Structure 1
Amino acid sequence: MAYDKGELTNQWEIEAARTREEDRRDNERELAGIDIGREARFHGTEFVEERRQGRSGASSAQRSAQREFTSRLQMLLATNPGYAALYNDTMGALGDAEDATDRAIVKAEAAHKAAQEKLEQTRSRAAKLPTDDSPVFKDKHGIVRNERGEAVNDDIADRIEWRGDEPAYEQFLEDSESVKDRLTRLEALQGFRVDTLGRFRDLMDDKDNPITETELREGQREIAEKLVEHRVHETIGRSAAIVDQPRPSAGVAIPDIP
């Protein structure tokens, strides 16, 4: 699979293309039982050694035994180049999405923590009720309110000691909403990471029930759409446009593997 560097728009895409090509070559060499000069990356050292023995003249009984221990997914990848190309390309896209989402989660956690700290600072600078020392704030109309937004009884409000530089109730509301918004984004990203990306990886890792070509394409589309929905696509060069990219076709349906 050749890549025209002139069509790649930036250095990241060049490196990504080089990585995908290296992955493809290593995968094919492992499937063929060819030593790649380092530990097997896709199919395990034992599998590659078994394939190598088959190439070097293992008996038919040995090869039959090898086939019994070869998963349906491995057999499919070995016998259907079109499917293998689509599978490997999808696996690369999934890895990109996982990495980008993990980075987004780290940023979202930091943003949530910063918002919490700002809210706590606002609460600590607020005036305190004389009855239970809880924070209170004056709104823009001069009404004294507690954290639940309830107006404080005038008799109690008159006993509050004010410094004059306390944060307004509107500031407290803004800081509170900021915490909620950032928590909502964090939880959404965490849900996407587990429910969408994690579920799809489970499908791709199922050795005995290989994911179909249709499921691969549908999975790519769902991931691409949700990357945009969760504003993660901007951190990875190609995933934002993954839906519009041509994909190699397996050309045939997934065969039954005895």
Structure 2
Amino acid sequence: MDYTNAFNDIVRAQAEARRELDFADSQRELAGVEVGRIGRFLSPEAREALREGKSGGSRSGSSMSALDWMLLNDPAYAQAYEGAMNALADAESAVDRALEQALERAETAQSILDETLDNAMKLPDGTAVFMDAEGTVRTEDGEAIDTVLAAALEWQGNEPSYETFVEQRDGLVAANDAVADIRRDQVELGDIRAELTDRDNPPSKERVDALRDRAEKIETTYDEGHDPAPVDQSHSIRAVKPEVLDF
């Protein structure tokens, strides 16, 4: 059974159901109908004004924010706003899932590298060294150590090679870079939410559309497989004990 596809189908179905519910709620909310859930679009003041207006109250609309006024009086703006908020919520969910997976990969990559360093040959001062495919013994930064010192080391034959160390070190760097990239998208989505929910200075309809497009683009990036492949723990090249030459 393809569990990944099944999971993705479930996520898409849940997202579609949420969009349908959001649309129904927004229409009821704009009409002043209580649905038993916290309103997502109008402020409490705007909902109260709607209720009082339906009951013949004379409360002034001055307590409404600029965003509330736009949502209540411009149907095209309200529709665009709803689409942007839905796109934003979908993107936030996609990024949150990607970040969780990326953090797990980075943690795994760190554990693998830590184990490699623990199993590495050590110099008398505790410096970890590795033998490369050519038989040269190198430190973590790639510097070759003295050949006499290298020949004097008591190699067991199961030490990780320099190539293994480099591959795992680079894998950790890539995993951490992926986490950083996702966090940047997360911050950008936070900025989009802040701009969309600025009740005193709401964005124009054109800006709302642009923010929706950006949120959709971010979500599409992750839907198309933004995340790197899982860390491979199976590959490990072992060093071979060097020959000691007699002079």
TM-score (structure 2 length as normaliser): 0.80
Indicate whether 1:171 and 2:164 are aligned: yes
Cα distance, 1:137 vs. partner? 0.6
Match of residue 72 from structure 2: 78
Cα distance, 1:101 vs. partner? 0.2
- Distance in 1, matches of 2:182 and 2:76, equals 33
1:57 aligned partner, one-letter code: G
Match of residue 118 from structure 2: 124
Instruction: Tell me the alpha carbon deviations over residues 183-238 of structure 1, each in whole angstroms, 9 at most, x when there is no partner.
Output: 111100001110x211111110110111122112222333333445xx41247xxx
Partner residue of 1:137 out of 122, 130, 136: 130
- Distance in 2, matches of 1:138 and 1:106, equals 35
Please give the secondary structure, in 2, of the residue aligned with 1:232: helix
- C-alpha change, 1:222 and 1:44, in structure 2 (3 Å) is closer
- C-alpha change, 1:30 and 1:135, in structure 2 (3 Å) is same
Indicate whether 1:146 and 2:139 are aligned: yes
- Distance in 2, matches of 1:201 and 1:51, equals 25
- C-alpha change, 1:170 and 1:12, in structure 2 (3 Å) is closer
- Distance in 2, matches of 1:38 and 1:198, equals 23
1:232 aligned partner, one-letter code: Y
- C-alpha change, 1:198 and 1:41, in structure 2 (3 Å) is closer
Contact 2:45 2:63 in 1 (8 A): no
Cα distance, 1:149 vs. partner? 0.4
- Distance in 2, matches of 1:11 and 1:165, equals 45
- C-alpha change, 1:125 and 1:12, in structure 2 (3 Å) is closer
Indicate whether 1:155 and 2:125 are aligned: no
- Distance in 2, matches of 1:143 and 1:203, equals 57
Instruction: Tell me the alpha carbon deviations over residues 157-178 of structure 1, each in whole angstroms, 9 at most, x when there is no partner.
Output: 2331110111110000000000
- C-alpha change, 1:193 and 1:72, in structure 2 (3 Å) is same
Indicate whether 1:192 and 2:190 are aligned: no
Contact 2:133 2:163 in 1 (8 A): yes
Match of residue 111 from structure 1: 105
1:52-91 equivalences under 5 Å are 52-59=51-58, 62=59, 64=60, 67-91=61-85
- Distance in 1, matches of 2:97 and 2:11, equals 17
Match of residue 223 from structure 2: 233
- C-alpha change, 1:136 and 1:182, in structure 2 (3 Å) is same
1:11-50 equivalences under 5 Å are 15-50=14-49
2:148 aligned partner, one-letter code: D
Q: Kindly, what percent of the aligned residue pairs are identical?
A: 36
Root-mean-square deviation over aligned CA pairs? 2.0
Match of residue 216 from structure 1: 208
Contact 2:45 2:64 in 1 (8 A): no
Please give the secondary structure, in 1, of the residue aligned with 2:213: helix
Indicate whether 1:207 and 2:206 are aligned: no
- Distance in 1, matches of 2:166 and 2:32, equals 64
**Range with greater deviation from structure 2 (39-48 or 102-111):** 39-48
- C-alpha change, 1:187 and 1:23, in structure 2 (3 Å) is same
Contact 1:39 1:45 in 2 (8 A): no
Contact 2:91 2:218 in 1 (8 A): no
Structure 2 alignment gaps of length 5 or more: 1-8, 226-247
Match of residue 239 from structure 1: none
Count of residues paired in the alignment: 217
- Distance in 2, matches of 1:182 and 1:107, equals 10
- C-alpha change, 1:77 and 1:124, in structure 2 (3 Å) is same
Cα distance, 1:14 vs. partner? 5.5
- Distance in 2, matches of 1:226 and 1:189, equals 10
- Distance in 1, matches of 2:40 and 2:211, equals 23
